[in-house]
Structure 1
Amino acid sequence: MALTGLQVRFAEKGDLKQAKEILRKSFTGSYRYWSELLLGRLDTLVAIMDGRVVGVAEIYTKETKTHGKISVISFIAVDPGYRGRGIGKNLVAEAEKIFREHGCRYSAASTRRDNLASIGMFTKMGYSLYRRGEKEFEELEGPLYAYEDDIILVKKLG
């Protein structure tokens, strides 16, 4: 899934201003508020291309009763001018690699049902989709802080 000229790594202090701008362009309302507040507080991955930050993913790990140690992609965003090039997939793939290294059995994310780009990306990468009301969703809503979302995506890590 390597993209020529793309580097994905943990964010450094100097990356956070550009990462925040991408979050600002990508989210509104409470999603913007929380993604900006958690920037640099959660583990943060950045995608670097053309010498600048073009994507960001905020991740964490949580212990759950039903899934054991689960990893969460809390927020993921790609600069609008760089979307459709596989940058989001590369961020997710790097996050999954880190999660495996930390002994996580599952990776998960949540979103709104109208976020078709995110849903499409995660399902193409092997994530199963669960809707509000389904057992899997109800078990993971709290650990994922998915209270405003109605879709949870889960992948068993090999």
Structure 2
Amino acid sequence: MRNISDIIEKYLKSILHESPEGTIEIQRNDLADQFSCVPSQINYVISTRFTLEKGYLVESKRGGGGYVRIRRIELPGPTTLHTHLHHTIGDEMGQTAAEGLIYQLVESRFLSSREAALMRAAISREVLMVQLPYRDQIRARIMKAMLISLLG
């Protein structure tokens, strides 16, 4: 059985997918009641699985009448994707940012899960065993080369 974090993530993504604006607004306490968990569990899911690197913008207001607003950031269309990727990747790219971009490309269906797995393997710090900043520079070049080849 999957854990509660996976279930909450799947639920939030499903209602976000159904939203015509690509935005949802939730109450932490209401969602915690719905899933019989503590509000901090909701915070954990949102802060780890709905990050900017993964293509989400999260706004929140605490206190009475507080909310959490999650907005899906859509990637540009295929015609401007190369320019977007060039600017996003730049000359250096850390592993977390690279994995977040790969995740976003899979979610947007620009990459298959197999292509993503190959890319993650190629850009991991265990494979790129050189010192910083060279590792981040090599990772950026690999990311650009692979994405140009795959999305070309």
TM-score when normalising by structure 2: 0.27
Structure exhibiting the larger radius of gyration computed from Cα positions: 2
Q: Which has the higher strand share?
A: 1
TM-score when normalising by structure 1: 0.27
